[in-house]
Amino acid sequence: MIRVVVVEDEALVKKGLILTTDWERFDCEVVGEASNGIEGLEKILKLKPDIVLTDVRMPGLDGIGMIKKVKENDLDPVFIIISGYSDFENARQAVKLGVCDFLVKPIDDDDLVHALENACSAVRDKQRINKIQNKMEDMTESKVMLFKEYLLDEKKDDYVARAIRYIKHNYYKDINVKSVAESLYISEGYLSRLFKNEVGQTFGDYLTYYRIKKACEFLRQPDKKIYEVANMIGYKDQHYFSVIFKKLVGVTPKEFREKLE
């Protein structure tokens, strides 16, 4: 349910908005009301609503001033401004503050419906983005973020070091522990044991983590399609790539890119 606070100094207008608007139609509920900007600020800081309908001209603290103070307190509800007359200056300031809509009294029912539809859409967009951001914050504990790339001594030239270098130069190809072992002229089992003992991970896990880490780098390039990124790290099946990516990162490649944007 989307939470709404109404701030209006004209009692009849305020009660009319609260009592005659079909809030359920928009999946909204009015959680608070106020008669001036000072009281409105207190209610908003306390209740943290998703949408605020506020008059511009109010005693003590006007609507524009109230919005500025709300933003100074790191809250960002969607605002719908109401004015008693067409006021270009207030509209200009409202646009600068990112206000969703500007309504003129007497409020036309169709205009109010349109404003609420836009505001609710904006709220849902914010909720979706916040959900992705929360997931991205959880990435700090995701498997791919915990992946520590093996610190390779450039002078080292044993089988494990050569296998790590092989991964770095060929991760985008169809490789596995068997093909790498063959390139080193040793058995698959022997390389697997050496790799696990030295690196602390199986060859397959290390290759997968390395590929997904590279995918995160490539996804930062907006001109690259997701299927192209999949191919760039050795996955021909985009769906399989997305499954592996979400398993290790916590979000899909698309959600990861949306967060970056």
d(CA 232, CA 24): 48
Quick one: 53 and 95 in the same domain? yes
pLDDT exceeds 90 at position 226: yes
Banded pLDDT at 255 (limits 50, 70, 90) = confident
Residue where a domain terminates, one of 94, 126, 158: 126
In a domain, 17, yes or no: yes
Quick one: 7 and 122 in the same domain? yes
Tell me what the mean pLDDT of segment 206-235 comes to.
92
Residue where a domain terminates, one of 72, 99, 126: 126
At residue 153, what is the residue type?
A: D
Mean pLDDT, the chain, integer:
87
CA distances to 119, 135, 142, 257 from 112, in Å: 10, 34, 44, 35
Banded pLDDT at 207 (limits 50, 70, 90) = very high
Quick one: 118 and 193 in the same domain? no
Q: Under DSSP, is residue 16 helix (H, G, I), strand (E, B) or coil?
A: helix
Quick one: 6 and 121 in the same domain? yes
Please count the residues of the chain: 261
CATH number for 252:
1.10.10.60
Residue 248's CB is within 10 A of a number of other CB atoms, namely 22
Tokens 């200056």 sit on residue: 89
Of 236, 244, 237, nearest to 213 by C-alpha is: 244
Quick one: 147 and 122 in the same domain? no
Tell me what the mean pLDDT of segment 216-241 comes to.
93
In a domain, 131, yes or no: no
Quick one: 88 and 160 in the same domain? no
CATH number for 62:
3.40.50.2300
pLDDT of residue 200: 86
Residues 6+ apart with CB under 8 A from 216: 144, 249, 256
d(CA 69, CA 127): 22
Quick one: 35 and 6 in the same domain? yes
* pLDDT tens figures, 116-163: 999 999 999 888 777 766 655 555 455 665 566 666 666 677 899 999
Residue where a domain terminates, one of 126, 150, 177: 126
DSSP, res 220: T
User: Per the structure, how many domains does the chain have?
Assistant: 2
Supply the range of the domain harboring residue 78.
Answer: 2-126
Q: Under DSSP, is residue 120 helix (H, G, I), strand (E, B) or coil?
A: helix
pLDDT of residue 89: 65
CA distances to 7, 78, 200 from 83, in Å: 12, 17, 66
pLDDT exceeds 80 at position 94: no
